């Protein structure tokens, strides 16, 4: 596994090196800006779940899912349909393709995200994303593998099928990664009227609170969808308390398995428990 991982980095194309450099550069920039202009003061860089989020979610899970999504699912669909051979988008300028795929996927992700908050089955693969108690540039990477599997397949399948150059896949990945880090970052951004269009920490941090904002602000990249579809929430003051009100495990594997727990709220009471309750009543 390690050899395959190292080989992957040894055989990177220039546009892939550029993409990784931008993502790493942006991460460093966000860490620095979080120190200089913190939204919530006193938040530490090394916080609860930091290594889980960096090594297991951001690097290991993304790497493995990348193989499953591109070499497995997308490759299978493309081989059986042969649509990419038509090269429908091959001559469209890369920057137009990036705008087109960013906006169309963003509409999808808005509605999908909104649905995840109202459907108990879809919530199961989304709650991991809401579990960090401190929200920062890295915490957005904590997403259940099934959530990423669905959303990234929807994100990249059209790009491959329309025959776009590989650069479009790489740069679209960069846009998603950098924007994802930005909206979660602990930076005190005050973008004014721009927050009506461009989504940022001002609104997305409210989405990660335990309060009213949690079922608002579903947008990822463009805040337009929240303002347009009546789900925007931007009160005075600052978001303070983040995470879930319910129990959530701290270990990566347990977090993955937790999505498949039973829905039964009250599993049949044990005779022991029953007799205890009885005793307390008669006491």
Q: Which is nearer to Zn ion, 140 or 173 (CB)?
A: 140
For residue 58, the minimal CB distance to Zn ion (Å) is: 14
**What secondary structure letter does DSSP report for 184?**
H
Whole-angstrom distance, CA of residue 223 vs CA of residue 198: 5
Nearest residue to the partner Zn ion, using Cβ: 140
For residue 215, the minimal CB distance to Zn ion (Å) is: 8
3-state secondary structure of 209: strand
Q: Which is nearer to Zn ion, 159 or 222 (CB)?
A: 222
Residue 196's contacts (CB-CB under 8 Å, 6 or more residues apart) are 223, 224, 227
Q: Which is nearer to Zn ion, 173 or 201 (CB)?
A: 201
Answer whether 190's CB lies under 8 Å from 207's CB: no
Interacting residue ranges for Zn ion, rule: CB under 5 A: 140
For residue 92, the minimal CB distance to Zn ion (Å) is: 31
Integer angstrom CA distances of residue 28 from 14, 17, 141? 21, 16, 15
Q: Which is nearer to Zn ion, 110 or 252 (CB)?
A: 110
Residue with tokens 């995840």: 116
For residue 184, the minimal CB distance to Zn ion (Å) is: 6
Burial of 123 (0-12, 13-18, 19+ CB in 10 A): middle
Residue 98's contacts (CB-CB under 8 Å, 6 or more residues apart) are 168, 171, 172, 175
For residue 85, the minimal CB distance to Zn ion (Å) is: 37
Q: Which is nearer to Zn ion, 172 or 207 (CB)?
A: 207
């Amino acid at each position: 596994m390690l050899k395959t991982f190292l080989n992957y980095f040894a055989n990177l194309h220039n546009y892939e090196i550029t993409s990784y450099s931008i993502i790493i550069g942006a991460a460093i920039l966000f860490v620095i800006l979080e120190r200089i202009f913190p939204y919530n003061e006193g938040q530490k860089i090394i916080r609860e779940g930091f290594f889980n989020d960096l090594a297991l979610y951001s690097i290991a899970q993304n790497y493995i899912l990348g193989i499953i999504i591109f070499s497995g699912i997308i490759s299978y669909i493309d081989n059986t349909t042969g649509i990419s051979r038509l090269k429908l988008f091959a001559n469209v300028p890369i920057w137009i393709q990036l705008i087109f795929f960013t906006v169309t996927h963003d509409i999808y992700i808005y509605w999908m995200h909104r649905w995840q908050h109202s459907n108990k089955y879809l919530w199961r693969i989304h709650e991991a994303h809401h579990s960090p108690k401190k929200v920062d540039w890295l915490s957005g990477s904590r997403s259940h593998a099934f959530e990423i599997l669905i959303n990234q397949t929807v994100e990249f399948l059209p790009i491959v099928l329309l025959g776009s150059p590989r650069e479009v896949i790489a740069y679209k990945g960069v846009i998603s990664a950098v924007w994802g880090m930005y909206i979660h970052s602990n930076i005190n951004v005050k973008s004014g009227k721009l927050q009506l269009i461009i989504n940022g920490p001002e609104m997305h941090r409210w989405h990660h609170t335990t309060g009213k904002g949690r079922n608002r602000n579903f947008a990822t990249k463009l805040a337009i969808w929240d303002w347009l579809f009546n789900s925007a929430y931007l009160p005075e003051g600052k978001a303070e308390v983040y995470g879930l009100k319910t129990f959530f495990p701290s270990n990566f594997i347990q977090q993955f398995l937790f999505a498949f727990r039973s829905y039964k709220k009250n599993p049949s009471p044990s005779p022991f428990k029953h007799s205890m309750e009885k005793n307390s009543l008669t006491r």
